[in-house]
Amino acid sequence: MLFVVGALGELLAHTVVTLPEREQTLLLDAVILGTLVALLGVFVFGIVLPLVE
């Protein structure tokens, strides 16, 4: 969800209005954080937890 919000926000911001640097940084951080959460979620729930069980 973070990835989608960040990516759509950046896309809409560049096509409709110009955002200040701070908001662009927040949207980029949302994209990066969303990607990391998705990758770590798969790793933790798909690999680590079955091995711990």
The model's pLDDT over 1-53, given as tens digits with 9 standing for 90+, comes to 888 988 898 888 888 888 889 999 999 999 999 999 999 999 999 989 999 97
Give the predicted TM-score (pTM) of the model.
0.77
Cβ–Cβ < 8 Å for 35, 3: yes
* CA-to-CA separations, 9 to 6, 36, 49, in angstroms, rounded: 5, 18, 34
Contacts of 4 (CB under 8 A, 6+ apart): 34
Q: Could you tell me the two tokens for 19?
A: 């955002």
